[in-house]
Amino acid sequence: MKIKNSVIWAMLFMAVIASGQSPYISVTAEKGDGVYSLLRKQGVDPYETFDDFIALNHENLRDSIHLYEGRTYFMPSTDSIPVVEDLKEAKPKSENAISYPIFGNKYAEVTTKSSKLKGTVYYLISGHGGPDPGAMTKFGNVYISEDEYAYDITLRLARELIAHGALVYVIIRDEDDGIRDDRILEMDKDEVAFPDKTIPLNQVARLKQRVDIVNELHKKHSGQFQRLIVTHVDSRSKGQNIDVFFYHHAESKNGKKLAENIHSTFAKKYRKYQPNRTYSGTFVDRTSLYLVKKTHPAMTFIEIGNIKNKKDQKRILEPDNRQALAKWISEGVISDFEEGEIGPIR
């Protein structure tokens, strides 16, 4: 059974060390390693064992979450850790594993984790795309753009929600990108709007297209629990470091609750993994935004960070961080659904 309580992990760890009988494998972090990549190298599922790893090694981590190059870290007991298989060659083993090509070869196969979101419908929109790359900045000798990183996080979120039983519509989609484990995501302009509509060049036409698609699908799924999540990356001055923050419709009780639940999840994660800093992300109403104002499902609009700020760039450039963002958002989504609807308003 997987142990999640860090205090118990620490007590067990000290006990086995004192007895001279350690079931833990020690590994050395190399340049460029993150927690997820280190776990992945050892052939274990990084998403299932992340919390256990942090609990075992919390005194040897920078900001309670980052590795130090050249230091030794302990892996949780392999007796209870699921082995990661190469998804490029994987084939469905049972009715609980389904392949979704949009996630790319490596991540196409999605195994059911639970039925917590059974009966729900989620619409996911990543900002910009097609002829509009969104916010851009130069990183080293190359340019990076908002649409590519928002899309990667959105795909990772979609995969998490599907694994818990949700029906998910990825509204802005790039069939040949998939989930990418690169720091620099190559820019292109071949994104389309669900199912295969060309994205207009005109900004208002682009936004209206997305609104029309979501509202038509919302009508199709009338009577079901439906939510919309829009993901963007902000652009501000280079010196402005911002935390993840959320918008919702001023008159949408359920939209506010969704934003609040995800925001609360982020606050808890920061307290756990970065106790030495304060999470300053907010959730506020901003009905003036076109998508917030015009779409019918209860929704939240997420700004991931400032693409021009070096600290915020780490949040989006590192694939492990993009996965963590998706995981945390999904946990907030699950919490929101488990609390249920608040009245009939949006």
How does pLDDT run along the chain (346 residues), one tens digit per residue?
444 444 444 444 444 444 444 446 788 888 888 888 888 777 777 767 787 788 788 878 887 778 888 898 888 764 433 333 333 333 444 557 889 999 999 999 999 999 999 999 999 999 999 999 999 999 999 999 999 999 999 999 999 999 999 999 999 999 899 999 999 999 999 999 999 999 999 999 999 999 999 999 999 999 999 999 999 999 888 888 888 999 999 999 999 999 999 999 999 998 888 888 888 888 999 999 999 999 999 999 999 999 999 989 999 999 999 999 999 999 999 999 999 888 765 6
Domain range holding 64? 6-80
Q: What is the pLDDT of residue 90?
A: 34
**Domain final residue, candidates 35, 51, 80:** 80
CATH of the domain at 253: 3.40.630.40
Q: Specify if 167 maps to a domain.
A: yes
In a domain, 173, yes or no: yes
pLDDT of 24 = 63
Rounded-to-integer distance, Cα 14 and Cα 130, Å: 54
Considering its fold, how many domains does the chain have in total? 2
Residue 145, pLDDT score: 96
pTM given for the model: 0.75
CA angle 142, 144, 149 (to 5 degrees): 145
Same domain, 47 and 76: yes
Residues 6+ positions from 201 with CB-CB distance below 8 Å = 131, 132
d(CA 176, CA 102): 7
pLDDT at 8: 47
Residue at which a domain ends, from 30, 51, 80: 80
Q: 52: how many CB neighbours lie within 10 A of its CB?
A: 22
State residue 149's pLDDT score.
97
Residue 281 within a domain? yes
SS3 305: strand
Residues 116, 73 share a domain: no
| Residue 249 and residue 182 share a domain | yes
Considering the domain architecture, whether residues 75 and 123 belong to the same structural domain is answered as no
Helix and strand counts by DSSP (H, E) for the chain: 9, 15
pLDDT of residue 95: 59
